[in-house]
Amino acid sequence: MATQPDVDAPRQVPVRERRASNPVTWVRSGGLTKLLFALPLIFVFTIFSWLPIARSVIMSFQKTNLITSQWVGLDNFVAVLRDPLLGTAIANTGYFALLALVMGFPIPIIMAVLMSEVRRGKGLYSALAYLPVVIPPVVAVLLWKVFYDASPQGVFNTLLGYVGIPPQPFLQSQTQAMPALVIEATWAAAGGSIIIYLAALLIVPPELYDAAEVDGAGIWRKIWHVTLPQMRGVIFVMLILQVLATAQVFLEPYLFTGGGPVHATTTILLLIYNYAFKNSLGGNYGMATALSVMLAIFLALLSWVYFRLTNRWSTS
Amino acid sequence: MTQTGFSRAAEAVIAPDVEQAGAPQQPGQGRLISWRQRRRENSMLDSDRSIISTAERRQPRVRRTLRGVHVFLFVSLVVVGLGPLLWLAKSAVTPTQDTLQHPFALWPNGIDWANLSQAWNDVEIDKYFLNTVIIAAGAWVFQLLVATTGAYTLSILRPRYAGLINALVLATLFIPAVVLLVPLYLTVVSPPLLGRDYSMLNNYLAVWLPMAANAFNILLVKRFFDNLPRDVIEAARTDGAGPFRLFWSVVLPMSKPILGVVSVFAIIAAWKDFLWPMLVLPDPARQPLSVRLPAVQSQTELDVFLAALAIATVIPVVMFLLFQRVFLRSAGLGGAVKG
The packing angle between helices A51-59 and B181-189, to 10°, is 110
Where do runs of H (alpha helix) occur along B114-229?
A: 114-121, 125-152, 162-173, 181-189, 205-212, 215-226
- Looking at beta carbons, which residues of chain A come within 8 Å of B274? 137-138, 251
How large is the greatest C-alpha to C-alpha distance in chain B, in angstroms? 78
In this complex, the residue of A3, A47, A300 whose CB is nearest that of residue B242 is: A3
DSSP A70: E
B327 band by pLDDT with thresholds 50, 70 and 90: confident
Asked if B51 lies within 8 A of A292 by C-beta distance, the reply is: no
Over residues A276-286, the mean pLDDT reads: 80
Assess whether pLDDT exceeds 90 at residue B135.
Answer: yes
Chain A nearest-CA distance from B268, in A, is 9
Q: What is the pLDDT of residue A19?
A: 55
Q: Is the dihedral of CA A267, A271, A276, A281 positive or negative?
A: positive
The string of pLDDT tens digits covering residues A232-277 is 888 888 888 888 889 989 999 999 988 878 888 899 999 999 988 8
Assess whether pLDDT exceeds 90 at residue A10.
Answer: no
Q: What is the pLDDT of residue B147?
A: 94
Residues of CATH 1.10.3720.10 domain(s) within chain A?
Answer: 78-315
- Looking at beta carbons, which residues of chain B come within 8 Å of A49? 172, 180, 210, 213, 215
Q: What is the pLDDT of residue B22?
A: 40
- Looking at beta carbons, which residues of chain A come within 8 Å of B317? 131, 134-135
Closest by CA position to A159, among listed B84, B104, B78: B104
Q: What is the pLDDT of residue A5?
A: 46
CB count within 10 Å of CB B33 equals 18
Q: Which CATH superfamily groups domain A78-315?
A: MetI-like (1.10.3720.10)
Asked if B317 lies within 8 A of A132 by C-beta distance, the reply is: no
Assess whether pLDDT exceeds 80 at residue B107.
Answer: no
Q: What is the pLDDT of residue B196?
A: 67
| Residue contacts between A and B (CB atoms, under 8 Å) | 364
Amino acid at A111: M
A69's enclosing H/E stretch is: strand A69-71
B48 band by pLDDT with thresholds 50, 70 and 90: low
Instruction: For residue A311, give Cα distances in angstroms to B11, B164, B337, B338.
Output: 18, 23, 12, 10
When mean pLDDT is compared over A27-41, A297-311, B44-58, the highest value belongs to: A27-41
In this complex, the residue of A34, A158, A203 whose CB is nearest that of residue B335 is: A203
* pTM of the full structure: 0.82
Q: Comparing A67-76, A305-314, B104-113, B228-237, which segment has the lowest mean pLDDT?
A: A305-314
Q: What is the pLDDT of residue B42?
A: 44
Q: What is the pLDDT of residue A313?
A: 61
Q: What torsion, rounded to 10 degrees, do the Cα atoms B35, B40, B46, B48 define?
A: 70
Assess whether pLDDT exceeds 70 at residue A26.
Answer: yes
Q: What is the pLDDT of residue B105?
A: 77
B148 band by pLDDT with thresholds 50, 70 and 90: very high
Closest by CA position to A242, among listed A284, A188, A200, A202: A188
Whole-angstrom distance between the N-terminal and C-terminal Cα of chain B?
Answer: 30
- Looking at beta carbons, which residues of chain A come within 8 Å of B66? 117-118
The string of pLDDT tens digits covering residues B9-29 is 344 444 444 434 443 433 333
Query: Rounded mean pLDDT of chain A?
Result: 84
**In chain B, residues 148-167 whose CB comes closer than 8 Å to chain A:** 149-150, 152-153, 157, 159, 161-162, 165
CB count within 10 Å of CB B178 equals 25
Assess whether pLDDT exceeds 50 at residue B230.
Answer: yes
Chain B nearest-CA distance from A130, in A, is 7
Q: What is the pLDDT of residue A91?
A: 93
Asked if A158 lies within 8 A of B104 by C-beta distance, the reply is: yes
Q: What is the pLDDT of residue A182?
A: 93
DSSP A163: T
Asked if A135 lies within 8 A of B313 by C-beta distance, the reply is: yes
Q: Comparing A269-278, B113-122, B306-315, which segment has the lowest mean pLDDT?
A: B113-122
Classify burial at A118, counting beta carbons within 10 Å of its beta carbon; exposed 0-12, middle 13-18, buried 19 or more: middle
**For residues B315 and B292, what is the distance between their CA atoms, to the nearest angstrom?**
17
**For residues B92 and B162, what is the distance between their CA atoms, to the nearest angstrom?**
53
CB count within 10 Å of CB A247 equals 22
B213 band by pLDDT with thresholds 50, 70 and 90: very high
Residues A190 and A277 sit within 8 Å (Cβ to Cβ): no
Q: Report angle CA A201, B77, B108 to the nearest 5 degrees.
A: 170
Closest by CA position to A309, among listed A251, A243, A240, A263: A240
Asked if A209 lies within 8 A of B49 by C-beta distance, the reply is: yes
Instruction: For residue B28, give Cα distances in angstroms to B13, B38, B45, B146, B330.
Output: 21, 10, 21, 30, 18
**Is B102 an 8 Å CB contact of chain A?**
yes
**For residues B57 and B42, what is the distance between their CA atoms, to the nearest angstrom?**
19
CATH number of B5-48+124-299: 1.10.3720.10
- Whether the ω angle into residue A253 lies within 30 degrees of 0, i.e. cis, is no
Q: What is the pLDDT of residue A280?
A: 67
Over residues A66-92, the mean pLDDT reads: 86
**In chain B, residues 206-225 whose CB comes closer than 8 Å to chain A:** 209-210, 212-213, 215, 218
SS3 B332: helix
Assess whether pLDDT exceeds 50 at residue A195.
Answer: yes
Query: Rounded mean pLDDT of chain B?
Result: 80
**For residues A38 and B150, what is the distance between their CA atoms, to the nearest angstrom?**
5
DSSP B334: G
Sorted by where each begins, the domain ranges of chain B are 5-48+124-299
SS3 A169: coil
Instruction: For residue B42, give Cα distances in angstroms to A13, A208, B39, B58, B99.
Output: 46, 14, 5, 21, 55
When mean pLDDT is compared over A285-294, B25-34, B54-63, B185-194, the highest value belongs to: A285-294
The ipTM value here is 0.82
Over residues A288-307, the mean pLDDT reads: 87
Assess whether pLDDT exceeds 80 at residue A80.
Answer: yes
**Is A214 an 8 Å CB contact of chain B?**
no
Over residues B288-295, the mean pLDDT reads: 91
**Is A10 an 8 Å CB contact of chain B?**
yes
